[in-house]
Amino acid sequence: MTLPLSHPALTATDPELAALVAAEEQLQADTLRLIPSENYASRAVLEASGTVLQNKYSEGYPGRRYYEGQQNIDQVERLAVARAMALFGVEHANVQPYSGSPANLAVYLAFAEPGETVMGMALPMGGHLTHGWGVSATGTWFRGVQYGVRQDTGLVDFDEVRELALKERPKVIFCGGTALPRTIDFAAFAEIARECGAVLVADVAHIAGLIAGGAHPSPVPHADVISTTTHKTLRGPRGAMLMSREEHAKAIDKAVFPGLQGGPHNQTTAAIAVALHEAAQPSFRDYAQSVVANARALADELLARGFDLVSGGTDNHLILMDLTPKEVPGKVAAKALDRAGIVVNYNTVPYDPRKPFDPSGIRIGTPSLTSRGLGTEHMAAVAEWIDRGVTAAGAGDEETLTTVRAEVAELMAAYPAPGLTI
């Protein structure tokens, strides 16, 4: 079955909302979705997310709940935990965090007192709000100190990180982020964390699927705690997990519940279990490798068209484009590309002279297009569309954007998306 998907009860009860869902399904089918933190969850994951498991309250952990009637829910959560432990090779997994930000907040709760120093990559350099950035609770309730990347290379300078860590003595160091196109050197971060006595947290939200599929080194031998969302390259539902060595299990569990959250979202736990099962299949390894191969091919094609890429390319699923040389602001480009059926997000680039709400760059990635089956042979066309879209954005050329939109839709129609087909 392909679009339109049938949602009979929803359509009967609330046709207005059903129409919006149908429109979103069509939009996701027709467009080239390049936001690197997005993906297409499978129909199985979506079905699990929409089950009666959501009717149940389950505060606590399997075998130790504050509500009765957990005969099935306990098994669901145990399954998700066991699959997470097996897939990532960790000693402990907590699958209850509602999403990435609560997961990271739970980490602070477990390992730092309010006012203590925590360290992470600065948001405009590619970090995440919850890595101690000022406007986030993590940067106001704790004392956030921030490292960046070198202006000349776009890469983390480990001498700078070490110097800062030894001077500031943070309780927690976060590595990882949201706009990092290069491999994260977990071993180098671990050495620094050991030297200054900090807990090292690897936030692998963006690359969890790549790690599961063997396309990015694993943080497991190096990090004390691993934080991840489950809906990006991992292709699961909107949710998160915290994984750790056994020695930190109690602290993590206590911080998630009762420290931060109430009842877990059992339907999400179930969908996470399904996604972890899917990620354990051999085909997921092929997927992860293809995501990276596509990103590399796309980066090469963009470089050949004169685009400036932060760090000069990519090792993973993500490309950060600095449009300064093209004299088109990131937001103008992103909005024009959206009109052309190419969905990206505007993004700061390191040392951006422009403001975060009107920055110099756009951030793109290959998880979604790879889920649809596009391969390296398509990346020249994708780069060409981006090039035409950015040029048209600068020239106010709406006709080209309309033409590109039709070309994009034609290709996308030949590559049905998981979740939008049965």
Separation CA 270–CA 7 (nearest Å): 21
**Exposure of 3 by Cβ count < 10 A (0-12 exposed, 13-18 middle, 19+ buried)?**
middle
The smaller minimum CB distance to ligand DSN, of residues 53 and 172, is found at 172
Q: Is 232 a catalytic residue?
A: yes
315 is catalytic: no
| Size, binding site for ligand DSN by CB under 6 A | 4
Determine contact, residues 189/200, Cβ cutoff 8 Å. Answer: yes
What's at 141, amino acid-wise? W
Q: What's the closest the beta carbon of residue 98 comes to ligand DSN, in angstroms?
A: 13
Instruction: List the catalytic residue out of 25, 30, 47, 59.
Output: 59
Applying CB under 6 A, which of residues 97, 100, 237, 389 lies at the interface with ligand DSN? 100
With CA atoms as reference, report the closest residue to 336 among 369, 407, 409, 385.
385
Residues 110-149 that bind ligand DSN (CB under 6 A): 128
Residue 157, classified by CB atoms within 10 Å of its CB into exposed (0-12), middle (13-18) or buried (19+), is: middle
- Choosing from 28, 31, 37, 94, the residue that interacts with ligand DSN (CB under 6 A) is 37
Residues 218-237 that bind ligand DSN (CB under 6 A): none
Q: Which residue is nearest to ligand DSN (CB)?
A: 37
Min separation Cβ 180 and ligand DSN, Å: 10
Nearer to ligand DSN, 105 or 164 (CB): 105
Closest-CA residue to 264 (of 93, 110, 65): 65
* Closer CB to ligand DSN, 92 or 131, in the complex: 131
Applying CB under 6 A, does 365 fall inside the site for ligand DSN?
no
Closer by beta carbon to ligand DSN, 101 or else 370: 101
Q: Which is nearer to ligand DSN, 165 or 320 (CB)?
A: 320
178 binds ligand DSN (CB under 6 A): yes
Closer of 33 and 128 to ligand DSN (Cβ):
128
368 binds ligand DSN (CB under 6 A): no
CA distances in angstroms from 190 to 113, 251, 384, listed in the order given: 22, 20, 41
DSSP tag of 206: T
Q: How many other C-beta atoms can be found within 10 angstroms of the C-beta atom of residue 416?
A: 15
Q: Does the active-site annotation cover 363?
A: no
Single-letter residue type at 184: I
Residue 238 catalytic?
yes
Q: How far is the CB of 151 from ligand DSN (least distance, A)?
A: 22
* Maximum alpha-carbon separation in the chain: 64
Q: Where are the beta strands (DSSP E) in 207-327?
A: 225-229, 240-244, 308-309, 318-322
Report strand pairing: 240-244 vs 225-229. Answer: antiparallel
d(CA 305, CA 299): 10
As annotated, the active-site residues are 57, 59, 203, 229, 232, 238
Rule CB under 6 A: which residues touch ligand DSN?
37, 100, 128, 178
